């Protein structure tokens, strides 16, 4: 089963297998800069860099696609600069596929620094306070000039907890913007993905999936999840949406990156994931192991003369003791950020490789069962409270901090 791209002839997706008793899928997504083997996880390089890693690092840990952020690159160094330097691939010295998001999520997270209109979003830069108008047409033009292989339509992301009327208005505006993005899309070297919205309301998600898929995008992303809702609700919503997504098209679930969530969402038929969680958690001392996430600053690790995870094949686990990682973090040594990020990303990418192999071999159910039996997720109440605080915390104007 395969898909030939009508609007982007350089892009193709071929579905190879669906695992029995699950919706888990394995496929190949072909782009002008190489293939992406799905299911796949895309490290986030918002500002044309995955924090603390070189392009060679990214390649060596097994990543074959990177996601960059249109909002941040539009503001700094600017689309003109990147275009003049030969596009994102040459600018960041990354030869593999690149995805760009529309910039919409970052703009909507600015809160009081932006104003929503039918034309687009009027916002003030978090860097210098200057005013900009992000429209669907401008988002597509910027992503075209950046030179990404896969680009996203501009959508309206609404925070969890609003009433259905707010979500309906946002979903309908997302649909109108999707049509404008399609009309603005010119490049046959890029694939344009439409985004399904609708919050946690099944009827809105169904309407959105039907409408967006009727427009004929090359792929489909599911947005507006993992934004503070309980995991059980996220899984339930995703299970409902998946039924309305074309089987022959790739599906991108935006903003999901914890191991347990990826397993569940691969099981629910998702192909591509991106999230800053693994890199952000690493920089804050939260490291993945097959038994769960650990906090490396804990005193128990001070004399731990063993690898962090003796089953992990990353450079960090093959080279350093847990005691040394504890020392680096407590001493705020810069090396920690690199080796911790290498570990967390390799941990996730290794899981993706195992999932793909299991799907092709018909054993995904057993792999998922065995992993989740041993893995201890972050406490749900603690996770939701942390997420709520993170979502409410507004970055001050002209701040330098960005994922």
For the stretch 296-329, pLDDT in tens is 999 999 999 999 999 999 999 999 999 999 999 9
At 1, the pLDDT band (50, 70, 90 cuts) reads very low
Are residues 263 and 291 located together in one domain of the fold? no
Any idea which residues carry the catalytic annotation?
Answer: 101, 274
Q: How far apart are CA 190 and CA 171, in angstroms?
A: 25
pTM of the model: 0.94
Instruction: Report how many domains make up the chain.
Output: 2
Are residues 244 and 339 located together in one domain of the fold? no
In a domain, 53, yes or no: yes
For the stretch 26-52, pLDDT in tens is 999 999 999 999 999 999 999 999 999
If one counts every other C-beta atom within 10 angstroms of the C-beta of residue 162, the result is 12
For the stretch 63-74, pLDDT in tens is 999 999 999 999
In a domain, 371, yes or no: yes
In a domain, 240, yes or no: yes
Residues 72/401, Cβ–Cβ less than 8 Å: no
- Is the confidence at residue 3, as pLDDT, over 50? no
Are residues 267 and 288 located together in one domain of the fold? no
Helix (H, G, I), strand (E, B) or coil at 99: strand
Neighbour-count burial of 93, counting CB atoms closer than 10 A to its CB (0-12 exposed, 13-18 middle, 19+ buried): exposed
State which residues form the domain around 234.
2-275
Are residues 209 and 237 located together in one domain of the fold? yes
For residue 89, the 8-state DSSP code is H
Examine the fold and report which residue of 275, 306, 341 is the final residue of a domain before the chain moves on: 275
Q: How far apart are CA 391 and CA 106, in angstroms?
A: 11
Q: Residue 254 belongs to what H/E stretch?
A: strand 251-254
Which pLDDT score, from 0 to 100, does residue 26 have? 98
For the chain, the distance separating the N- and C-terminal CA atoms, rounded to the nearest angstrom, is 37
Q: How far apart are CA 398 and CA 195, in angstroms?
A: 29
In a domain, 127, yes or no: yes
In a domain, 401, yes or no: no
Residues 51/58, Cβ–Cβ less than 8 Å: no
Chain length of the chain: 403
Place of tokens 């959105």: 208
Are residues 11 and 128 located together in one domain of the fold? yes
Examine the fold and report which residue of 275, 300, 324 is the final residue of a domain before the chain moves on: 275
- Is the confidence at residue 110, as pLDDT, over 90? no
For the stretch 181-197, pLDDT in tens is 999 999 989 999 999 99
Place of tokens 């001050």: 396
In a domain, 391, yes or no: no
Q: What angle do CA 169, 174, 180 make, to 5 degrees?
A: 130
Both tokens assigned to 338: 């690199």
């Amino acid at each position: 089963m395969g898909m030939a791209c009508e609007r982007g002839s350089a892009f193709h997706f071929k579905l190879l297998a669906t695992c029995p008793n699950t919706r888990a899928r394995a496929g190949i997504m072909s782009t002008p800069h190489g293939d992406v083997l799905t299911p796949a996880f895309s490290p986030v390089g918002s500002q044309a860099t995955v924090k603390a890693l070189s392009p060679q690092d990214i390649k060596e840990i097994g990543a074959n696609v990177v996601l960059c952020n249109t909002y941040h690159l539009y503001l700094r160094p600017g689309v003109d600069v990147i275009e003049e330097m030969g596009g994102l691939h040459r600018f960041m010295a990354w030869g593999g596929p690149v995805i760009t998001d529309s910039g919409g999520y970052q703009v909507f997270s600015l809160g009081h620094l932006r104003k929503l209109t039918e034309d687009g979003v009027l916002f003030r830069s978090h860097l210098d306070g200057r005013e900009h108008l992000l429209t669907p047409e401008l988002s597509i033009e910027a992503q075209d000039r950046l030179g990404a292989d896969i680009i996203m339509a501009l959508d309206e992301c609404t925070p969890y907890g609003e009433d259905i009327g707010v979500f309906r208005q946002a979903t309908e505006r997302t649909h109108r913007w999707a049509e404008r993005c399609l009309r603005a899309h010119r490049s046959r070297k890029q694939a344009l993905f439409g985004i399904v919205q609708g919050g946690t309301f099944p009827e809105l998600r169904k309407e959105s999936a039907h409408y967006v898929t009727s427009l004929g995008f090359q792929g489909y992303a599911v947005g507006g999840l993992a934004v503070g809702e309980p995991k059980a609700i996220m899984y339930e919503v995703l299970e409902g949406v998946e039924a309305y997504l074309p089987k022959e098209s790739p599906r991108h679930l935006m903003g999901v990156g914890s191991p347990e969530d990826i397993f569940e969402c691969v099981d629910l038929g998702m192909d591509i994931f991106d999230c800053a969680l693994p890199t952000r958690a690493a920089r804050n001392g939260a490291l993945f192991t097959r038994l769960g996430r650990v906090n490396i600053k804990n005193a128990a690790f001070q004399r731990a003369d063993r690898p962090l995870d003796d089953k992990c094949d990353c450079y960090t686990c093959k080279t350093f003791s847990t005691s040394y990682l504890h020392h680096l973090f407590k001493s705020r040594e810069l090396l920690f950020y690199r080796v911790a990020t290498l570990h967390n990303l390799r941990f996730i990418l290794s899981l993706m490789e195992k999932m793909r192999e299991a799907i092709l071999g018909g054993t995904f159910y057993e792999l998922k069962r065995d992993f989740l039996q041993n893995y201890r997720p972050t406490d749900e109440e603690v996770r939701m409270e942390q997420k709520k605080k993170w979502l409410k915390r507004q970055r001050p104007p002209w701040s330098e901090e960005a994922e």
